[in-house]
Structure 1
Amino acid sequence: MSALVTAWQFDSKGSGEELSLEKAQSAPSDKIVWVHLDATHPDAKKIIHDFADLNDHVVASLFADNTRPRCDVFDDGYLINLRGVNVNEGKDPVDMIAARIWISGTRIISLRRQPMMAFNDLRHAFAKGRGPTGQGDFIARIANSLTERMSPILETIDDRITEFEDMGYLDSKTDSELVELRQDIARLNRYITPQQQALLKLSNLEADWLSDGCKATIRHALDSVMLYLEELKELKERMQILSDQLQTQSNGRIEHTMYVLSVIAGIFLPLGFLTGLLGINVGGMPGVEDENAFWLVTVLIGAIGLGQYLYFRWKKWI
């Protein structure tokens, strides 16, 4: 399998031509060329060096194992890392994956470690003749596509929390599910928060390829991200309320159990003392020679126990 996922040459009208790697590398400098690579392939770095003369810092950032959303300006280009939810089959959507993009002049390089629908959207748009019209439109569409796919994930988490809120009573199984939800919220917040800063910086870039219309699209994505952050904050607060409710219920169960044990101990402690006293092996014990002594003691103990029970009921202790 090649490191090249796809390569396109496109114009200001949104029409594009899919290229081989050789044609992409030899394309005229006045033509906008996008090369999309698989960052996990061993040939990816060599292709980048052949396609564009990047410094080691940029290359290291593009291939870093763990990247946070960012928008950095260099003398020869722009490094943009954004995150999107993982909608690949069998993957956890909350495990957000990175879109790594380098824009320099008319050359666009993007890398991914897993398939990303945002890049597939561009390929389909090119195939229909409705692709990006420039570098600014390219990055604006990526930002918008990544942002739109976050909404269903947040709605799913919201629905799950609502289910717990409607239950009224939470059990121990619910506790583990709540922990998973809190972890999901924390993982989303980890990348969406810096994504807000990256989009804000991107929307304020002074680049000749970034038009006001593209900036408006990016600001729309930024507004959505800010809304998502507010929703995450609200979800976190609702999770805290559920956790407090679960803790209160757990404490209530413990207190009830301890109370029941205390009542049982209160009833059987004097009875145990009486049976222990009658069980001492010394001379002079009353009733030793009486055949009915055992039954008399049994009735006495039963009467004492019943009397304690009725007394506890009268005092409303049980």
Structure 2
Amino acid sequence: MSALVTAWQLNASGGGEELRQDQIASKLKEDKIVWVHLDAMDPEAKPLLKEFCELDVHVEASLFASNTRPRADEFEDGCLINLRGVNVNEGKDPVDMISARLWISGNMIISLRRQRMMAFNDLREQLARGKGPTGQGDFVARVSNLLTVRMLPVLEAIDDQITTFEDMDYLKRGVDDDLIEQRQNAARLNRYITPQQQALLKLSTLEADWLSDGHKTSIRQALDSVMLYLDEIKELKERMEILNDQLQKQSNGRIEHTMYVLSVVAGIFLPLGFLTGLLGINVGGMPGVEDQNAFWLVSLIILVIGIAEFMYFKWKKWI
């Protein structure tokens, strides 16, 4: 499989021409914007990138880093943008957010992925239909919104699960494991969405020739959505904390009830145990040893004492 996922020359009207690998270098010499999308996991990605683009060593390291945080930084010859999106690939955990790495410079748009990203697939399909990005600013704005909009279903899934728990009159056993999982999901989303807010804020105020006021407005829409998501995560964490307190209260209630039952049982049988223990000592002079009816008499006495204790506990409302 080639390191080149796709490459397009944009025609400034929403369409473009899909390029072969050997066409990229020559097309970059023209005035039109060229988008090159690479698979960062392919070992040929770095050599291929160097064929038509000379990057600062720090920029290259950031583009190919295994772990990144959302950022938007200007350099002398371009702009480096890292954003995160939920992982919608089959068999993957959506909250395991994956990164979209962009380098904007001259008439180039360089994007890299480590896993398949639907946002870039959407842009490719839009260009094929003639309804794609018209330039670099439009490209960045669309990526920002495409990544952001796919976060909503993941948050809604967590919200639905928490609402299900809240609708229960009594939280069943096993809910605590599900609640822990959802708290972990919220924490992992918050880990990347928080710095994404800062990256989009910086991007929306960036002074760059390729970024128009309209593009900044579109990026601010993504920023507003991210801020709403952060508020939602905060609310979800508070609701899950309340559910956790409820689980703890239920657990303490079960323990207290069990200890109470054991205490009542012990209270009833303690004097009976003392009586049977006393009569069971093997010493001379024990009354009733020679009387054949003594066993039944002792049993009757124990039964009467047990009933009396039960009635007393009932009268005191201990049971």
Indicate the TM-score class for this superposition, using the shorter chain for normalisation.
over 0.9
Q: Secondary structure at the match of 1:143?
A: helix
Is the counterpart of residue 16 in structure 1 residue 21 in structure 2? no
**Matched residues in 2 for 1:106 and 1:240: separation?**
50
Native 8 Å contact 1:5 1:36 kept in 2: yes
Provide Cα deviations, 1:218-246, integer angstroms capped at 9, x if missing partner: 00000000000000100111000100001
Q: Which residue of 2 aligns with 1:283?
A: 284
Deviations 1:93-135 (A, max 9, x none): 1111110111111111111111111101110111011111110
The offset of 1:59, in angstroms, is 1.1
Shift of 1:287: 0.5
Letter in 2 for 1:13: S
Q: Tell me, in whole angstroms, the C-alpha distance in 1 between the residues paired with 2:22 and 2:60.
A: 21
The one-letter amino acid paired with 2:113 is R
* Cross-structure match for 1:229: 230
Counterpart in the other structure of 1:105: 106
- Residues 183-218 of structure 1 deviation map (CA, whole Å, 9 limit, x = unaligned): 000010000000000000000000000000000000
Verify: 1:71 aligned to 2:75, yes or no: no
Partner of 1:150: 151
- Amino acid paired to 2:22: E
> Equivalents in 2 of 1:55, 1:299: separation in Å?
97
The Cα shift of 1:171 comes to 2.4
CA distance in 2, matches of 1:270, 1:29: 101
1:200-279 matches, within 5 Å, as: 200-279=201-280
* Cα shift at 1:26: 2.1
Partner residue, 2:133: 132
What's the offset of the Cα at 1:11? 2.4
Normalised TM-score (structure 1)? 0.98
1:65 Cα offset (Å)? 1.1
In 1: Cα distance, 2:30 partner to 2:47 partner: 20
Mapping 1:81-92, distance limit 5 Å: 81-92=82-93
What CA distance in whole angstroms lies between the structure 2 residues aligned with 1:48 and 1:257?
68
- Once residues 298 and 45 of structure 1 are traced to their aligned partners in structure 2, the CA distance between those partners, rounded to angstroms, is 92
Q: Distance in 2 between matches of 1:155 and 1:211?
A: 33
Q: 84-93 or 221-230: which moved more?
A: 84-93
- 1:309 corresponds to: 310
3-state DSSP class of the match of 1:99? strand
In 1, distance between residues paired with 2:189 and 2:93? 12
Task: Look up the match of 1:51.
Answer: 52
What is the Cα deviation at residue 29 of structure 1? 4.4
- Structure 1: state its 5+ residue gaps: none
Unmatched tracts of structure 2, length 5 or more: none
User: How many Å separate the matches in 1 of 2:279 and 2:64?
Assistant: 84
2: CA distance, partners of 1:284 / 1:15: 112
Q: Is the 8 A contact 1:171 1:246 kept in 2?
A: no
CA RMSD of superposed structures (Å): 0.8
The alpha carbon displacement at 1:153 in A equals 1.0
User: Matched residues in 2 for 1:26 and 1:266: separation?
Assistant: 94
Q: Which residue of 2 aligns with 1:299?
A: 300
Aligned counterpart, 1:160: 161
Q: CA deviation at 1:283?
A: 0.5
Structure 2 counterpart SS, 1:37: strand
Q: Which amino acid aligns with 1:253?
A: R
Deviates more, 1:43-52 or 1:254-263: 43-52
Please tell me the residue identity of whatever aligns with 2:193.
I
Aligned partners of 1:145, 1:213: CA distance in 2, in Å? 17
Q: Which runs of 4+ in 1 moved over 2 A?
A: none
* Identity rate, percent: 73
Please list the CA deviations of residues 245-269 of structure 1 after superposition, one character each: whole Å capped at 9, or x if unmatched. 0100000000000000000111111
Q: Deviations over 1:270-300 (max 9, x none)?
A: 1111111111111000011110111111111
Deviation at 1:39, TM superposition (A): 0.8
